[in-house]
Amino acid sequence: MRIAPHPLKYLALFFCLLSIRSAQIESFHHQEVRRLTALLQSPVAAIRVEGVQGLAGMKHGPSEEKLLPLLSDPNEQVRKETTLALGRLGSALSFEPLVNKLEDTSWEQRKLASLALEEFNPGSTASWGRGQWLDWAKSSSRREKVAQLLAQAQQPGPSRERVLRALRRWVETSDEEAVLKLLEPASNLSITERTLLCEALERIGSSKSIPTLARQHVEAAAWALGTLGGTEAEAALLAARKTPAVMINLDRLASTNCGSFLPHLVYSFGLITYRSHPEDLHFGVAQPVQRAAANLILRSGQAPTLIEGIIRELEQTMQPSVVSNTPLTLPPDVTAMLAQMREELKPGFVRGDGLTTSQPLSALHFIVEDPSIAPRLRPLLKHPAFLPRIYIALTLCKLQDVAGGEEILSLIKEGYKFSDATALASGKHFDQSQTVRWKGFLCMALGKLRTDAARTALEQLASDQDQPRDVRYGAVVGLGFLLHPQSRPLLERVAQTDPIWMVRDEARQIMARLDLTGQRALAIHKEAQ
């Protein structure tokens, strides 16, 4: 047993910096909108497609104006995705441009426009051409259309959903009261119907809508509250069931009040041994719920004590154990959460059946920000349970700890005591980790170190046929995080020669991404000329 040299000395500093830090943390939603909007301007069509698809996936209504010009993009795929996107999020603003698409030379474009326009009229319009749509548009004003739809929406029945879908497209801010009236409890709306009206309020609502939205208990209400904002909206979200949509919108509102459900935030991170979060380490970017949860923890001010608690649990389960003599006070629910993790920190543990309790490990690399903690983390790379090694490696690499990277590399190079052919694939065998291949995850972590040394090491591992298949695969995935042009020849060789399909396929996909990056750079260069 040894005494930990770092008790709580970082805590005070953390608290001092907290208020400044909270203000600096941009919400994931804002970041994503900014990123995707920028992609719309790319000279490379495939990248514009990504931007269009992303904003459509978010149903980001404010992007409608930016999307409309792309209906006449020179690239057909961009035009197609834009039509699809406007079918998802378009308002009256999109109506005429979509009608004009009905005379496109491409059947697919015409059909997509027709399907998008079906959302604007609850009648049978599938066979309508441009002329019929324009006639219908001229036959009444927007206000009259809304009035008619509102009247129809009073009538319950199977057609009401189509009416509300159209209403969602045509309403404007002046219609807020009427929409709110529809959402009165007596209306007895279905979940889908309430969702449609919440989406309408997201676009046209004001603070007046917040009390009504707070009562709806549908995902769309959370998005509307996130869009409308303010303390009342935050309070409504804090009172709601903590679904991913609720957490993402709390993050949008830069909430600093989520410390009361810290364990719930921590359990949002998933875990590679949990049955439904198998491979999140393979994603180049974290999942929305993970990024939102990390932001909420950081803004809550509880990250330093949580980090300290997690690290202490790991230190205490080392062999020999490291015990701190400095008291640490944690909320009871956090203490219980960390205690539950102990079962999974035993030597040889792989996974239990059903739920897992080690999510604090996966939270670690999202919430640790201070590089000076790295020396304390490095010894944990040799934790007797192998799962902490993976997440500690990720944390060290996130902190850009070069010394940690070297230790990770030497761990990888130690190799296994078994051959690929006789190795177990996974942890279905519960308590036997002797033949579990886990070092590929360390390669992925190295990819996130983003140093030249890491890239060189990964290139060597990826092309070394004497390395086990998980290491070669993990090395290629890691090179994908680095996405360095110099890796391309190596990736090309791997894509052609590695005997393992997974390795070849991953290399091919990274090459395609590299080529796209190069294409983008080239196009920008040409534009500049």
Partner 1 sequence: MTRSAMFYSLLLALTLSRIFGEDAENLWNQLEKTKSPQKALALAQLGEPAVPFLVKGLQRGDRVAALCAWALAEHPQPSASGALRDLLPKVDQVAGYWAAKALAKSPSPENISALAALLPLGPNSFWELSGGGKPRLQDQYDPKGNRYTAEAPAGMPNIRVAYATMEALGQIGGDVAAATLLRALENDQYLIRHAAARALGQLKHQPSSPVLSRLAEKDPVLMVRLASRDALKLLAGETLKVPAKPALPPSIAFIKTRHRSDATFGFRDSYFFPKTPRFHSGDNLFTLTPPRPDGTLRNLTELTDGEVQGPEVSTDGRKIIFAMRRNRHTDGFHIFEINTDGTGLRQVTSGNCNDVDPVYLPDGRIAFCSDRAGYQEYYHQERSRLIYVMNADGSAIQQITFNPNQDYEPSVLRDGRLVYSSYRFYAQDGSEGPLPGEFMGLARIETVLRACNPDGAADQLFYGSMRGSFYCPLRPMPFGDQFAGWHKRGYHVGVSVSHQREMPDGMILCTTPAGLTLVDPDLAPVDCELPIYPEVLNLAGGEEVYIHNYDEMNPVGRYTTPYPAGDGWAFVSHAPWHDLRVNGYGLYLMNLVTRELEVVYDDPQMSDVDPIVLAPQPPALVRSSTLAKTPGATGLIVCNSVYNSDVPYNKDAVRYVRVLEGMQMGQSINANAAFRTRVLGTAPIHEDGSFYIEVPADVPVRFELLDSEGRMLVHETEFNYVRPGETKGCVGCHEPRQYAAPGLKPKALEHPPARALRDQGDLIYMGRRERSYNTIFRD
Lay out the site mask for partner 1 across 124-163 (x = CB under 8 A, - = otherwise). Answer: ----------------------------------------
Give the interface segment with partner 1, choosing from 14-22, 309-317, 465-473, 481-489 (CB under 8 A).
Answer: 465-473
Number of residues binding to partner 1, judged by CB under 8 A: 88
DSSP class of residue 173 equals: G
DSSP class of residue 166 equals: H
| Of the residues 14, 18, 32, 359, which one makes contact with partner 1 according to CB under 8 A | 32
Structure-token pair, residue 394: 């990720």
| Of the residues 64, 73, 104, 118, which one makes contact with partner 1 according to CB under 8 A | 118
Q: Which helix (H) or strand (E) holds 322?
A: strand 322-323
* Residue 522 interacting with partner 1 (CB under 8 A): no
User: Shortest distance, CB of residue 400 to partner 1, whole angstroms?
Assistant: 23
Cβ-based nearer residue to partner 1, 57 or 230? 57
Structure-token pair, residue 147: 């009035």
Cβ-based nearer residue to partner 1, 51 or 405? 51
Interaction residues for partner 1, span 207-236 (CB under 8 A): 219-220, 223
| Residue length of the chain | 529
* Residue 481 interacting with partner 1 (CB under 8 A): no
Structure-token pair, residue 436: 């579990």
Give the interface segment with partner 1, choosing from 15-23, 115-123, 140-148, 480-488 (CB under 8 A).
Answer: 115-123
Q: How many CA atoms lie within 13 A of 135 on its CB side?
A: 6
Q: Which helix (H) or strand (E) holds 3?
A: strand 2-3
User: Shortest distance, CB of residue 453 to partner 1, whole angstroms?
Assistant: 23
Structure-token pair, residue 285: 């970017």
Cβ-based nearer residue to partner 1, 141 or 434? 434
Cβ-based nearer residue to partner 1, 330 or 516? 516
Cβ-based nearer residue to partner 1, 77 or 456? 77
| Of the residues 363, 503, 507, 510, which one makes contact with partner 1 according to CB under 8 A | 503
Structure-token pair, residue 282: 């393979």
Alpha carbon separation from 121 to 59, 94, 146, 224, 242 (Å, rounded): 20, 13, 11, 23, 35
Alpha carbon separation from 185 to 188, 194, 219, 413, 435 (Å, rounded): 6, 11, 18, 64, 59
User: Shortest distance, CB of residue 516 to partner 1, whole angstroms?
Assistant: 5
Give the interface segment with partner 1, choosing from 96-104, 110-118, 230-238, 455-463 (CB under 8 A).
Answer: 110-118
Provide the terminal-to-terminal Cα distance of the chain, rounded to the nearest Å: 66
Interaction residues for partner 1, span 267-306 (CB under 8 A): 270, 272-285, 287-289
Cβ-based nearer residue to partner 1, 16 or 191? 191
DSSP class of residue 103 equals: G
User: Shortest distance, CB of residue 128 to partner 1, whole angstroms?
Assistant: 14
Asked if 108 and 80 touch (Cβ cutoff 8 Å), the reply is yes
Interaction residues for partner 1, span 44-83 (CB under 8 A): 46-47, 49-51, 53-54, 57-59, 77
* Residue 493 interacting with partner 1 (CB under 8 A): no
User: Shortest distance, CB of residue 440 to partner 1, whole angstroms?
Assistant: 5
- 124-131: long-range pairs with CB below 8 Å, 24+: 128/102, 129/102, 130/99, 130/100, 130/102, 130/103
* Residue 248 interacting with partner 1 (CB under 8 A): yes
User: Shortest distance, CB of residue 426 to partner 1, whole angstroms?
Assistant: 3
| Of the residues 469, 482, 490, 491, which one makes contact with partner 1 according to CB under 8 A | 469
Query: How far apart are alpha carbons 44 and 67 in whole angstroms?
Result: 16
Structure-token pair, residue 120: 């604007």
Q: What are phi and psi of 21, to 5 degrees?
A: -65, -45
In sequence order, what are the beta bridge partners of 323? 3
Lay out the site mask for partner 1 across 400-439 (x = CB under 8 A, - = otherwise). Answer: -------------------xxxx-xxxxxx--x-xxxxx-
Cβ-based nearer residue to partner 1, 171 or 514? 514
Interaction residues for partner 1, span 330-349 (CB under 8 A): none
* Residue 253 interacting with partner 1 (CB under 8 A): no
Nearest CA-CA partner of 376 in 310, 281, 332: 310
Residue 26 neighbours by CB under 8 Å, 6+ apart:
none
Query: How far apart are alpha carbons 379 and 401 in whole angstroms?
Result: 13
